[in-house]
Amino acid sequence: MARIRIEEGDLTGAPVDAIVNAANTALRLGAGVAGAIRERGGPAIQSECDAHPAVGLGEAAITGAGELPARHVIHAAGMEPGGQVDEPSLRACTRAALELADRSGLKTVALPAIGTGVGGFPMQRCAEVMLEEARAHVERGTGLEEIRFVLYGEPAYRVFEMVHDADKVRLQMERLGR
């Protein structure tokens, strides 16, 4: 069964099969997570994105990872260019990214807090939605061995940790019948 892990760090340095980019539908690597991926991964990633047709809101596409330690980048489109992320698009693009990782035969994937920077989505609700989608993906059955959330900065890490811990306590209480 896949393990869900929370850590503070730099997503672009994660040694996993794929990292997830907080993308827009045009697959333009702009600011935030996408900008960090572009800077550290080099121009090859944007070149692959340019060769790929635009994706729909809530969809995902996969490219190589250029000079990053990961092998692939999964671009999860949570917003239109210049737009904002909302809960349905966050839920859909998280699900699409995990399904694409699974279909691609990957074993490890690392995700950021999609949409909480330029996308304007609240951090706590992001943690709740993304962790819920990750748990649902694991419960449906997956070839993934690890779903890792790599959060930039201690505040983001603490919010995800708090939500993840609260969910674990809730599940334990349910198992105990309380």
Q: What digits encode the pLDDT tens for the residues 129-160?
A: 999 999 999 999 999 999 999 999 999 999 99
- pLDDT attached to residue 169: 85
Structure-block tokens of residue 82 = 């210049």
Q: For residue 90, give every residue at least 6 positions away whose Cβ sits within 8 Å of its Cβ, in sequence order, or none.
A: 78, 114, 115, 121, 126, 129, 130
Q: How distant, in Å, are the alpha carbons of 51, 137, 145, 162, 163 from that of 1? A: 35, 11, 7, 22, 21
Structure-block tokens of residue 139 = 């419960």
In this prediction the pTM is 0.94
Q: Is the pLDDT of residue 178 over 80?
A: no
Q: Is the pLDDT of residue 59 over 80?
A: yes
> Which amino acid appears at position 4 of this protein?
I
Give residue-wise pLDDT tens across range 102-127: 999 999 999 999 999 989 999 999 99
Distance in angstroms (rounded) separating the CA atoms of residues 152 and 118: 14
Rounded percentage of the chain residues whose pLDDT exceeds 70: 99
Q: Do 104 and 71 form a contact (C-beta atoms < 8 A)?
A: no
Structure-block tokens of residue 45 = 């990633």
For the domain covering 3-175, report its CATH number. Answer: 3.40.220.10
Q: Is the pLDDT of residue 172 over 90?
A: no
Q: What is the mean pLDDT of the chain?
A: 95
64 torsion bin: left (phi>0), alpha (psi -120 to 50), beta (else) = beta
- pLDDT attached to residue 164: 94
Rounded percentage of the chain residues whose pLDDT exceeds 90: 89
Strand (E) or helix (H) holding 102: helix 87-103
